[in-house]
Chain A
């Protein structure tokens, strides 16, 4: 039974992952492991396959071959919503929130209860839900905007709202795709503070270009290049790796 299982301490074990689009291998025989409560940052030049890796883990893109084990569950065989229910949350690069709904309703939809058709018909907005929504709204600096429609929010506020929607899902693995991109300096600082608070007690997989931000939060950095791992280790190690300097940091 245990043959082929990864050691227990790995929350996420990606092995031999390959995806090819019309013969082009966007991700090529990629393997990496994320531990419980680890913060892993993926960096790499444009087109390195960073976003594709997140797409593969959350089920948006189907792998051509390879395996993604999450707590011993094979994610490549699950549908997107089942992967979410298994405990993987994903934030997209461009803020994707429901603009025709209020901040409260946006957060409420992400509350992990009543996710089936009939469950959602019977869903009641009880005190637990209200309390949790307010709690999260406070964390993401939107407490006084609960009844505002999301299309009235600024770009940064939409990013926070989406982070809040993930937070309310309470995933074990949180995947963030460039969470501070397109933000103003003050929003960036607030977001860093927010992320530092929410990454406790869970594993996080972040794609980010902001090196200062990466240095601040990363436990371990994976450098991708042309769909393959170029280097992996602490920020210090990666920064001094001549291969990395050659293709990425040196420019």
Chain B
């Protein structure tokens, strides 16, 4: 890894280390496996959030359909796991043994063509990355080349999320319908349902998450990252500086799709099933809310947003199941109106300066000749 002072500035480095300590030490040591698995589930949304930071925060492209890519990644993984779980031995009571149970219930007698590649694990991994990227490329090219943007783009992504949900629910025999793809057992022969496996998967996920953070930070620091910011403000000036704005938007949208898909694939592994309820309009909007709460301009903010909002969701919906959605809506409105840069904005504006002042006053105490403003902070 290329972590040096220029890759992460001081506060980003601290953010990275704080997150690493929390996710790799504090949480695994203090939580039981059930709660740790919940954290793993929350973190799958952090992947989506990182993508949204690039695409929405930096590029200004609001996608309200990230559930589509989360779902595509998740379904690719689920298809592989389902095929492995549907060995002839496991399914001998079916009228056609050796095919997934829901296909059998829907009178299918052989595995459909588009399922066949998912017999292979390497192909599945490639599909998790490439299928959503390809899908985003098509949507992006169709929209951005025609200069569809802003609210119109957001609405169209919503529509796509709705369409995909309806398609999945409607095509039961091929997709498992409203129940999704369930009863997943092993990954390449390794049982993913045990506590031990969940523990390992948690660490795999955290490592992948840090990989994605580094990748997103890398993109942010290249000239491409600056062009995204430039495009958000003055699209025409970017165009008249010789850049194809559409291509840059397509790239940001595809990158966000790939990050979301990795999260989706991990979700399937952690939770053990995939269903259309993680694809549609509501989950897609929730993903945007996590990012907005964490701070759409901050990669780390997106991770914290996913963790904290989901944590609040679990604890509040355990006690007040009816009120939770209202709470989530109110939270979103409050954040957008009062704190447009989310938690990370509050941190950068309110907390960070105090810490800096505290550090500065410590320094000035040890060197009394250099007192900045006289009064010590505490």
Contacts and interface: CB of A to CB of B under 8 A. Distances in A.
B242 A97 contact: no
B224 A117 contact: yes
Contacts of B238: 109
Nearest to A125: B223
Given A114-B223, A117-B251, A96 B237 contact: yes
A115 B230 contact: no
Contacts, number: 81
Interface string B230-246: 10111011111111110
- Chain B CB count within 10 A is highest, among A60, A98, A105, for A98
A116 B232 CA distance: 17
- Chain A residues touching B, range: 20 to 34
B239 A121 contact: no
Interface in A46-100: 58, 60, 79-81, 84-85, 89-90, 92, 96-100
B233 A120 contact: no
Contacts of B251: 117
A56 to B, nearest CB: 14
A108 interface: yes
A165 B238 CA distance: 11
A193 B245 CA distance: 34
Contacts of B247: 116-117
A120 B230 CA distance: 13
Given A101-B230, A109-B230, A115 B224 contact: no
A117 B242 contact: no
Contacts of B30: none
Interface residues of B, number: 25
Interface of B: 219, 222-224, 226-227, 229-230, 232-234, 236-245, 247-248, 250-251
Given A99-B233, A109-B227, A115-B243, 5 more contacts: A60-B236, A81-B242, A84-B239, A92-B240, A120-B243
Contacts of B219: 121
A120 B222 contact: yes
A101 B226 CA distance: 8
Contacts of A60: 236, 240
Contacts of B224: 117, 120-121, 123
Nearest to A85: B242
Interface string A93-137: 000111111000100111010111100111100000000000000
A99 B241 CA distance: 15
A50 B17 CA distance: 57
A98 B233 contact: yes
Contact of B241 (A79, A116, A122, A165): A165
A85 B240 CA distance: 9
Nearest to B241: A110
A169 interface: yes
- Chain B CB count within 10 A is highest, among A58, A99, A120, for A120
A112 B222 contact: no
A123 B222 contact: yes
Contacts of B226: 101, 105, 108-109
A66 B244 CA distance: 25
Contact of B244 (A81, A92, A101): A81
Contacts of A162: 237
20 contacts: A58-B240, A81-B242, A84-B239, A84-B241, A97-B234, A108-B223, A109-B227, A109-B230, A109-B241, A110-B241, A112-B242, A115-B243, A116-B247, A117-B248, A117-B250, A120-B227, A121-B219, A121-B222, A122-B222, A162-B237
Contacts of A79: 244
A84 B241 CA distance: 7
A58 B230 CA distance: 20
B237 A97 contact: yes
B63 to A, nearest CB: 18
Contacts of B242: 81, 84-85, 110, 112, 115, 169
Nearest to B219: A121
A114 B222 CA distance: 11
A200 B247 CA distance: 34
Nearest to A86: B242
Contacts of B245: 81
Contacts of A92: 236-237, 240
A175 to B, nearest CB: 10
A85 B236 CA distance: 15
A169 B241 contact: yes
A167 to B, nearest CB: 12
Contacts of B248: 117, 120
Contact of A101 (B229, B236, B243): B229
Interface string A158-200: 0000100100010000000000000000000000000000000
B234 A98 contact: yes
A123 B224 CA distance: 8
A96 B236 CA distance: 8
- Chain A CB count within 10 A is highest, among B227, B232, B243, for B243
A58 B250 CA distance: 23
Contacts of A97: 234, 237
Contacts of A123: 222-224
A122 B247 CA distance: 16
